[in-house]
Amino acid sequence: MLNLFRKPLMQRAALGAIVALALALRLFHIGFGLPAINDPDELMFELGAVHMLRTGTLNPGWFGHPATTTMYLLALCNIAVYGTGRALGWFHSQREFVDAVFVSPSLLILPGRIAMAAFGAASVWLTGRLATALFDRRAGLVAALILAVSPVAVHWSQIIRSDVMATTFMLACLLATLRHARGGGWRDLIVAAVWLGTAIATKWPFAVGGVAMIAVIGWQLADGSSRVRDAAVRLAAFIATMLCALLVISPYLVIARDTVARNLQGEAQTRHLGATGGTLAENLAWYLQGPMVDALGVAGIALAAAGVVFAARRPQAAAMIVPVTITFALLIGSQHIVWERWIIPLLPLVAMLAGAALAEASRKLERGTAWRGALACTIAAGLIALPLGVTAFREAQARANDTRQIASAWAAVNIPAGSTVFIEHFGFDLYSQPWRVLFPMGEAGCVDARALLAGKFDNAVIERARAGRSNIDYGTVATARLESCRADYAILSQADRYAAEAADFPVQAKAYRELIQAGRTVAVIRPAQYLQNGPVVRIVRFGGVNKMSQY
C-alpha cells in the first residue's frame, strides 16, 4: 500500500494532509495572551498598518525590517475586519473602529496572526514541492513533515513578524530559480527576481535568496552550457528586475529614505537583553546546539548533515540549497546579537537536506521491494516528527498560560481600586481595571497608559521615546524621569532578565534593584516548561505590607 505514495496524486494528497497538519498546529491557541500583547513587535507592525489606513497612503512610517509587505498584508486584514464590523453594526465609522482597536487590539492582532499561520502552512507546501523537485517525492514529504511539526517554526508562525512571510517568498524564488536552471527561460528568471524583491521588501537579509540564482548561472558558466556574455546579461537582468520589484512594492524606501536610515540605525544593536552574541564560532555553536536542535531534533540535524553529501551529488541541489544555507548561517552567525527567529529561513532548507538523506537511506533497504523502503522511511519520519509535534503542541499550551496573564489575574483580585499601577508590557487586559496605569516610554519617562492610547500613538512616537534604546522598560527610562514612575504597585516583567545580565547592563539592573528594595514583593510568577510560558514576573507593592505569593 505504501508504494501508492509513489503516484503523483497520492503524493499530492499526502502533502495536502501534511499542510493541513501544519495549519492546525499553527492555529492551536493562536489567540494566546490576547487582549494583552506579549511580543511588543506585534504592536509595532500593526501600528504601521494602522498608520497607512489613517493617513490614506502606502507609507507605513517604519522600515526597520523593512516589513513593508507584512504591514500591507495587515492593512488588508484590518480593512476586512472594519468592513465586517460595519456590516454587522459593530462600528458606525472609521473613528469608532480606531477607538475600539486602541482599547482591544485583539480585533487586529488575531486576524494578523491567522494570516501569519497561513504563510507558515504555505512555507510547508513550498518546502515539499521544492524538495520533490530537487530530490524526489519521498524526500519532499519528509521535508514537509519535519517543517510542519517543528516547534520553532510553529511558534514563529503564530506571531506577527516578517520572518515567516519572507521565508515563504524566498522558497517561491527558489522554485522559480530551479525552473530556470532546468531550461525555463526568461520568464522563470523574471519570476524568481520578483519573488526575491518581495522577500527583501519583507526582510532585508533575504537578499541571500539571490545566491541561488547566482550559483546556478555560475554553474552553467562553469560546465560550458552558458557563455560569459549570456551569463552576464541574465545576472544583470535578474538584479535589475529584483530592484524594480523591491521599489514598486515599497517605493517609500526611496521617498522616505531619511526615515529608512533612522530605522536602520535603530535596528543596528551591538547588545540586546537576552540576545547578546559572541564570536562567529560562538554564535554558530549557540544556534546549532540550541534553536536548531529545538526546531529539528538531534536526529533531524544528523540527517541534514548526511543530506549535504547527497545534495552534492545533484548539481542543481548543490548549486541552490547548499550555498543559500551556508550564506544564511554565516550571515546570522556574524551578527553582534543572536535570535532564535533568525533560523526560520534555514529550517526548510535543512529539512530538505534531512528529507533527502532519509529518502536515500530508505532506498538502500528496498532490496528490490519498494514497499520495504517506503515503510522504513515512513516509520523513521514518524519517529522524528512525533516528538517534535508533541513539543510544539505542549509549548502552544504553555504560551496560552503566560506568566504575564497570570500576573494580571492576580492583580485584578488583589490590587484595590484607585491604585496607581506601573506595568512594562502591553497589558491591554489591565486597562479596564479601576486603576491609573503607568507605562515606561524611555526619554518621556512613565506616562499614563490610557492617555497614550487616547492619543492614538504610532511608531514615530515610540521611536522618539526609544531614542536608540533596544527595549522600552523601567530599566531604560531616562534617569531624570524615574520619579514619574512612582506607583502603588509595579508589575515587573524584565527585572530578573536584567539581574541575570547585570554585567552587561549594570545601570538598568541597579535601577530595578533599587526599585524592588523600595517596596515589598507580594507575588512572583515563574515560567515552568510546558506548563506556563513567559518571563519571571514580580509584583511589588510600595507602602504597607502584604503576604508574598509564589506561582
Q: Dihedral angle at the C-alpha atoms of 173, 177, 178, 181, nearest 10 degrees?
A: 180
pLDDT band of residue 1 (cuts 50, 70, 90) is: very low
Q: Is residue 217 part of a domain?
A: yes
Domain membership of residue 429 (yes or no) is yes
Q: How confident is the model at residue 3 (pLDDT cuts 50, 70, 90)?
A: low
> How are the residues of the chain apportioned to helix, strand and coil, as percentages rounded to the nearest 5?
70, 5, 25
44 in the same domain as 30? no
Structural domains counted in the chain: 3
Local structure of 366: helix, strand or coil = coil
| 46 vs 72: CA distance, rounded Å | 10
Residues 133, 108, single domain; the answer is no
Please indicate, yes or no, if residue 2 is contained in any of the structural domains.
Answer: no
376-414 per-position pLDDT tens digit: 889 999 999 999 999 999 999 999 999 999 999 999 999
pLDDT, one tens digit per residue, over 91-110 is: 888 888 888 888 889 999 99
In the block, residue with C-alpha cell 539592573: 509
H or E element in which residue 94 lies: helix 94-103
With a cut of 50, say whether residue 12 has pLDDT above it. Answer: yes
423 and 527 housed in the same domain: yes
pLDDT tens, position by position, 304-340? 999 999 888 888 888 889 999 999 999 999 999 999 9
Q: Is residue 5 part of a domain?
A: no
Q: What's the confidence (pLDDT) of residue 547?
A: 46
Q: What is the mean pLDDT of residues 541-550?
A: 62
352 found inside a domain: yes
N- to C-terminal Cα distance for the chain?
Answer: 52
Question: Under DSSP, is residue 496 helix (H, G, I), strand (E, B) or coil?
Answer: helix
pLDDT digits (tens, 9 = 90+) for 250-259: 999 999 888 8
Domain assignment present for 447: yes
Contact 267, 328 (CB under 8 A): no
Separation between Cα atoms, residue 368 and residue 40, nearest integer Å? 56
Question: Is the pLDDT at 260 greater than 80, yes or no?
Answer: yes
Peptide bond into 66 cis (omega under 30): yes
Q: Chain-wide mean pLDDT for the chain?
A: 91
Q: No. of H helices and E strands in the chain?
A: 23, 7
Cα→Cα distances 333→228, 284, 336, Å: 34, 5, 8
Do 200 and 304 share a structural domain?
A: yes
Tell me if residue 35 falls in helix, strand or coil.
coil
Check residue 38 and give its pLDDT.
Answer: 95
Provide CB contacts within 8 A for 262, sequence distance 6+: 463
Residues 192 and 90 in one domain: no
Between vectors from CA 339 to CA 336 and to CA 343, what angle results, nearest 5°? 115
Enter the C-alpha cell of residue 200: 527583501
Cell readout for 541 is 507593592
- According to the model, what pLDDT value does residue 318 have? 86
**Residue 531, CB-side half-sphere exposure with 13 Å CA sphere:** 7
pLDDT of residue 456: 67
Answer yes or no: is pLDDT of 478 > 50. Answer: yes
CB–CB of 173/199 below 8 Å?
yes
User: Which residue type sits at 153?
Assistant: A
What pLDDT is recorded for position 468? Answer: 67
pLDDT, tens digit, for every residue of 151-199?
999 999 999 999 999 999 999 999 999 999 998 889 999 999 999 999 9
- Tell whether 329 and 215 lie within a shared domain: yes
Please report which residue ranges of 278-429 form alpha helices under DSSP H: 280-287, 293-312, 315-333, 346-363, 370-399, 403-414
Amino acid at 86: R
- As a whole number of angstroms, the distance between CA 486 and CA 479 comes to 13
415 shares a domain with 461? yes
Nearest partner of 267 among 105, 67, 424, 120, judged by Cα: 67
Q: Which of 382, 399, 416 is the last residue of a domain?
A: 399
Domain boundary among 399, 420, 439: 399
Residue 10: inside a domain: no
Query: Is residue 473 located within the same domain as residue 534?
Result: yes
212 and 66, same domain (yes or no): no
Span 190-209, mean pLDDT? 97
Side chain identity at residue 245, one-letter code: A
Contacts of 421 (CB under 8 A, 6+ apart): 411, 415, 430, 433, 435, 436, 437, 438, 487, 488, 489, 490, 491
For residue 545, what pLDDT is reported? 46
Backbone angles phi, psi at 12, to 5 degrees: -65, -40
Overall average pLDDT of the 360-365 stretch = 85
Contact 473, 440 (CB under 8 A): yes
The answer to which of 63-72, 76-85, 314-323, 353-362 has the lowest mean pLDDT is 314-323
Which residue among 81, 112, 143 closes a domain? 112
Q: Which residues contact 371 (CB under 8 A, 6 or more apart)?
A: 1, 2, 3
**pLDDT at position 249, please?**
96
Average pLDDT rounded to a whole number, residues 28-41: 95
229 and 96 part of one domain: no
How open is the CA angle 64-100-103, to the nearest 5 degrees?
Answer: 70
pLDDT for the residue 82: 92
Percent of the chain with pLDDT over 70: 95
384 and 460 co-located in one domain: no
Identify which has the larger pLDDT, 457 or 428: 428
Same domain, yes or no: 121 and 85: no
CA-based R_g, the chain, Å: 25
**Alpha-carbon distance 532 to 525, whole Å?**
9
- What whole-number distance in Å separates Cα of residue 26 and Cα of residue 38? 17
CB 325 within 8 A of CB 170: no
CA distance 520 to 166: 46
Question: Considering the domain boundaries, does residue 101 fall inside one?
Answer: yes
Helix (H, G, I), strand (E, B) or coil at 191: helix
Look at residue 407 in the predicted model and tell me its pLDDT. 97
* Domain with 73 in it: 40-112
Nearest Cα to Cα of residue 354 among 74, 145, 42: 145
User: Model confidence at 464, in pLDDT bands (50, 70, 90)?
Assistant: confident
Mean pLDDT along residues 64-78: 94
Residues 6+ apart with CB under 8 A from 55: none
Residues 152, 174: Cα–Cα separation, whole Å: 22
Bond from prior residue into 35 cis (ω within 30 degrees of 0): yes
